[in-house]
Structure 1
């Protein structure tokens, strides 16, 4: 049973995509939507109650065409606009990712580093996470965080419950605690 409205929408999209053989393409479309609606101005446009549904529907047609998305994604976005549920889009994206990962036996690993890591390093990290989890596939999402000083962290598992911390920041914090310097905190 899906507990939230966002989960219900995400489940429906995943089921439709799976049944019509477009799960991979739908996942790619969901990732495009995540980036697109991640833009604050776009999100505010769609959640603004003073903008007409017709203008929002026209904009959806433009989005779907320009991002080369599948027709059922247009229908889905229009459904959200018409039912005044478009504010759930970010949650729907997250929920869809969970369904997609379960359907494809994929483990999501979020790799946080100071600088962008090379693709061969990300591939090595993916292989390591695959060994740890036994998942058939591993998807890597990257995040840049200058406060780590150097190194990286890997978060995986259900809801990111497992963490491998290879950052210099963590090593410095551990060193400070071992030396019993409680007043030392690293500037972020």
Structure 2
């Protein structure tokens, strides 16, 4: 609920100020930094650390941010909602993807895909889901054996050899 309200307001403001794409890039970097340094959020939300010390860190982060991102950080800190930053960023990304008709998907294969394979996969998947753009997150998992597993929010395609072998095994055991 909080993420939806703040994400919608942030997205509307970014569109109004014509900084939607720039803010998206900045928020994705922020999300990446939070994932790489989980102790930062622990620090910012800790009641054992003086609010003034935590405020100084927020101000340092804000100083290297755009006006919108800096205002978001300050507001979330002031309202005691800084712990919701990650989900608010996720909501902003979702709204932006919807606006751009972009679908984010994860592809899992036994070995890394060649660029040509990725291009064919994204092109075919874009047609299936009716998207303008597909952003692929590649994962390598040798247990897939061969083929690919493609997942997005609304779609799962499992074309792995692992699944095919499991199906054959179930048929043989009947």
TM over 0.5: yes
Do 2:105 and 2:136's aligned partners in 1 also have CA atoms closer than 8 Å?
A: yes
Name which of structure 1's ranges 169-178 and 136-145 shifts more when overlaid on structure 2.
Answer: 136-145
2:161 is aligned to: 168
1:21 and 2:18 are equivalent in the alignment: yes
CA RMSD between the two structures: 2.3
How far apart are 1:23 and its partner, in Å? Answer: 0.9
1:184 is aligned to: none
Equivalent-residue separation in structure 2 for 1:106 and 1:131 (angstroms): 12
TM-score (norm 1): 0.79
1:1-188 paired onto structure 2 within 5 Å: 4-38=1-35, 39-64=37-62, 69-156=65-152, 160-180=153-173
What CA deviation, in whole Å up to 9, does each residue of 1:76-119 have, x standing for no partner? Answer: 01211111111212221221122111211212222233454344
Q: Which ranges of structure 2 fall in alignment gaps of 5 or more residues?
A: none
Equivalent-residue separation in structure 2 for 1:115 and 1:54 (angstroms): 49
Equivalent-residue separation in structure 1 for 2:142 and 2:89 (angstroms): 26
How far apart are 1:53 and its partner, in Å? Answer: 3.2
Equivalent-residue separation in structure 1 for 2:77 and 2:140 (angstroms): 33
Count of paired positions: 173
TM-score (norm 2): 0.85
Do 2:62 and 2:71's aligned partners in 1 also have CA atoms closer than 8 Å?
A: no
Equivalent-residue separation in structure 2 for 1:115 and 1:86 (angstroms): 39
